[in-house]
Amino acid sequence: MSTLYDKLGGQPAIEQIVDELHKRIATDSILNHFFAGTDMAKQRNHLVAFLSEIFEGPKQYAGRPMDKTHAGMNLQQQHFDEIAKLLSESMAARGESPEDTKAALERVSNFKGAILNK
């Protein structure tokens, strides 16, 4: 059985999804201020590596654990919900199936506690 990473189209697909997500974040008033002053090229590389790994692709994420990365940001449920919505929209824009999008969001949701530091 193929992995979610393979179903989505591997590294090029993950990169396209992240690029689309970043475009949406840039214009999102709920989230964009969290990324002010962020090196978005570096953030892109970390997010591509993280998603690739949690979607059962290559183990390439070398960033900090999610709780350390998001510490002190005071992220709330609404912020997590918004990023999940934008990720879903980004995957739909790329033509990913509802099933694969749901599977991706479930994997991301596994990190919600760490991301929200709860």
22 is in an annotated binding site: no
Q: How far apart are CA 54 and CA 26, in angstroms?
A: 24
Q: Is 33 annotated in some ligand binding site?
A: no
Q: Per the annotation, where are the binding residues for heme? A: 46, 70
Q: Per the annotation, where are the binding residues? A: 46, 70
